[in-house]
Amino acid sequence: MARRISAATAATGSWTDPDGFRSPAGEVHAWLSGTNQTLCGVPLARAQLTRLAGVPFEEAQPATGNAADRVTSVCPRCLSATGHRRGERRWQRVNPRP
């Protein structure tokens, strides 16, 4: 298994799901806790990105994540920076919501 950076999520928006879990919305980037920019080099403050320290970047991807219901796009540079590759594998949601 390839080594992957375990990054948190930064998003252009956020919402609280019915379980009270803060989830990303809009476009998501990978972000390492303790830094003030995304993995692709966007300063969080200047881009007005919301930090979601409790949401692993993998969980914020529409193809794989359980926290991605309102994510519209994923930054491709952050995807490759975390070791993910587009079309690498067909993922399936583990717990599809009705």
Give the one residue of 38, 58, 59, 71 binding Zn ion; rule: CB under 5 A. Answer: 38
Give the one residue of 32, 40, 44, 63 binding Zn ion; rule: CB under 5 A. Answer: 40
Binding of Zn ion by 61 (CB under 5 A): no
Going by DSSP bridges, is the β-strand pair 8-16/22-31 parallel, antiparallel, or unpaired? antiparallel
Q: Which is nearer to Zn ion, 17 or 47 (CB)?
A: 47
Q: For 9-38, give one letter per residue: b (16+ CB within 10 A) or e.
A: bbbbbbeeeeeeeebbbebbbbbbeeeebb
Going by DSSP bridges, is the β-strand pair 22-31/70-74 parallel, antiparallel, or unpaired? parallel
Q: Which is nearer to Zn ion, 22 or 77 (CB)?
A: 77
The residue written with tokens 């519209």 in the block is 72
Give the one residue of 75, 79, 82, 84 binding Zn ion; rule: CB under 5 A. Answer: 75
Q: Which residues bind Zn ion (CB under 5 A)?
A: 29, 38, 40, 75, 77-78
